[in-house]
């Protein structure tokens, strides 16, 4: 007799005939059950009710941010030994490979929006390691708009469409960020040419937040992660974006899918920068401030490994829409830092997924670890974990399960009063100015034109224009003067 317990929900076990969700055979999937040929439909037509009820619920809530995305699978391979920096098992030696799934996305716009809109791109990697999953959730820019997660909901509301008209409008964006000059550095990326990547294969990725690497001896280092494509970084200028987007609003998704299908596997090199926490006060900025980059001439990029995407996903809903990331999901040897934005993301991401997908979203195959796991998180909505044990508490003398070996944590001591404070070393203008001055003249001109267009929005007040010109003048005097001249404004 066949072992029926192996038939978990999977298309691998499809029956040769149509069935209901409970497995009952369906002999007619075209006609409702009615009273006679012309009579009313019967409520007892369970097959019809089930079919309609499932259809009504086919669409889960789309992500508030990063709704538009594309995924692919592959592997990460260590190429350089960093075992002196971290005890993470998947980084223990060159040659070690770990399966991954990666999701690229746009941030602000809806799931069906064009992939050519000026917007940050998400770059999220889920490592299926032997010690559980590690989610490295980042963007294609190394910095962010705000440094404290308290501002995040308001920031997203400002970037999203007007709640009255459902139109994204510059005046709302410029109004909000005029209160937060820390955003200037992020805008030197968003309004730069890299604001519209050519596709996902030709863009960089960054972990953005500061994490902590801990080695076997318990020594900790702050770390930032950088993904560099093995191909050239390419972007779309305005005319190109209009042409590409007008022809195919899913061009980046199609490019990713077609490239992998043709055997042209996208590849990135992983680099890290590290800072000894004992030295964090040596800089003129706070290393845990996400609006700052770490100078590469002082803190050089160190190679770690390579990421190769060599397999397309099997199903878009199961492996893209239900794919869920959270910066809190780390492995031994990698930990958080006191980065204020990271600290809020640790809670917010998982909470968002519990809302979208349910409290057991980590049981979904795409999110579940590939390693053995054991806990007493029972029941709840959509729990499909097979359990036959009698002990669902800990500890128990009837269950030999024990604690794992201790994992080193950052050796930080805290002694301070409760307070709501800003980061002391704000230094909002130096790095944006340096980045602008690094642009070639024609690139500076494109940057200026984008800002003139945004500040020319008729609902942007003279006060807001003056604030922005003042801020850009503090970053670079010539930039502020040029904006003021073209907008005919005296500051």
Which entry of 66, 109, 226, 251 is annotated as an active-site residue?
66
In a 13 Å sphere around the CA of 383, the CA atoms on its Cβ side amount to 10
What b/e readout covers 161-192, taking b as 16+ CB neighbours within 10 angstroms?
eeeeeeebeebbbbbbbbebbbbbbbbbbbbb
DSSP assignment letter at 4: G
| 304: CB partners within 8 A, 6+ apart | 78, 79, 80, 82, 91, 270, 271, 272
CA distance 444 to 436: 7
Is 13 assigned to a binding site? no
First to last CA, the chain: 85
Left (φ > 0), alpha (ψ -120 to 50) or beta: where does 380 sit?
A: left
Helix axis angle, 462-475 relative to 477-487, nearest 10°? 150
3-state secondary structure of 280: helix
Check if 471 is active-site: no
CA distance 227 to 233: 11
Stated as kind and residue range, the H or E segment containing 36 is none
Q: Are strands 302-312 and 334-335 parallel, antiparallel or unpaired?
A: unpaired
Locate 419 and state its tokens.
């307070």
Check if 139 is active-site: yes
Which entry of 109, 133, 139, 320 is annotated as an active-site residue?
139
Binding site as annotated, residues for heme:
349
Residues known to be catalytic: 66, 139
Q: Which residues are annotated as a binding site?
A: 349
């Amino acid at each position: 007799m066949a072992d029926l317990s192996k038939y978990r929900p999977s298309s691998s076990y499809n029956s040769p005939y149509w069935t209901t969700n409970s497995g009952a055979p369906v002999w007619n999937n075209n006609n409702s059950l009615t009273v006679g040929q012309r009579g009313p439909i019967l409520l007892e037509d369970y097959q019809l009710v089930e079919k309609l009820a499932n259809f009504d619920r086919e669409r889960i809530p789309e992500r508030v941010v990063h709704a538009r995305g594309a995924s692919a699978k592959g592997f990460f391979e260590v190429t350089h030994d960093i075992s002196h920096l971290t005890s993470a098992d998947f980084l223990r030696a060159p040659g070690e490979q770990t399966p991954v799934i990666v999701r690229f996305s746009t941030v602000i716009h809806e799931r069906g929006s064009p992939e050519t809109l000026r917007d940050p791109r998400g770059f999220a990697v889920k490592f299926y390691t032997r010690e559980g999953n590690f989610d490295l959730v980042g963007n294609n820019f190394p910095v962010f708009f705000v440094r404290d997660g308290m501002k995040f909901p308001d920031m997203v509301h400002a970037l999203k469409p007007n709640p009255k008209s459902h139109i994204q409008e510059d005046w709302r964006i410029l109004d909000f960020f005029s209160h937060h000059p820390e955003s200037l550095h992020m805008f030197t990326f968003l309004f730069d040419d890299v604001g519209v990547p050519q596709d996902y294969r030709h863009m960089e990725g960054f972990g953005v937040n500061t994490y902590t690497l801990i080695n076997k001896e318990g020594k900790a280092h702050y770390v930032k992660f950088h993904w560099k494509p093995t191909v050239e970084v390419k972007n779309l200028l305005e005319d190109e974006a209009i042409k590409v987007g007008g022809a195919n609003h899913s061009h980046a998704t199609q490019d990713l899918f077609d490239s992998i299908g043709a055997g042209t596997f996208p590849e990135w090199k992983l680099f890290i920068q590290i800072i000894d926490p004992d030295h964090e006060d040596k800089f003129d900025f706070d290393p845990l401030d996400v609006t700052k980059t770490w100078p590469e001439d002082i803190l050089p990029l160190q190679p770690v490994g390579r990421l190769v995407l060599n397999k397309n996903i099997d199903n878009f809903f199961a492996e893209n829409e239900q794919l869920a990331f959270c910066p809190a999901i780390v492995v031994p040897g990698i930990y958080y830092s006191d980065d204020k934005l990271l600290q809020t993301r640790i809670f917010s991401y998982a909470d968002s997924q519990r809302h979208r997908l349910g409290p057991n979203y980590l049981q979904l195959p795409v999110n579940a670890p590939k390693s053995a796991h054991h806990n007493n998180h029972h029941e709840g909505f959509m729990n499909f974990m097979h359990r036959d044990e009698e002990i669902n508490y800990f500890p128990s003398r009837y269950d030999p399960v024990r604690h794992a070996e201790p994992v080193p944590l950052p050796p930080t001591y805290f002694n301070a009063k409760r307070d709501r404070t800003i980061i002391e070393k704000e230094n909002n203008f130096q790095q944006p100015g340096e980045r602008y001055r690094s642009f070639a003249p024609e690139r500076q001109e494109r940057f200026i034109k984008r800002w003139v267009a945004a500040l020319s929005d008729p609902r942007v007040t003279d006060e807001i224009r003056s604030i922005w010109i003042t801020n850009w003048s503090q970053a670079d005097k010539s930039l502020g003067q040029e904006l003021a001249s073209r907008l005919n404004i005296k500051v």
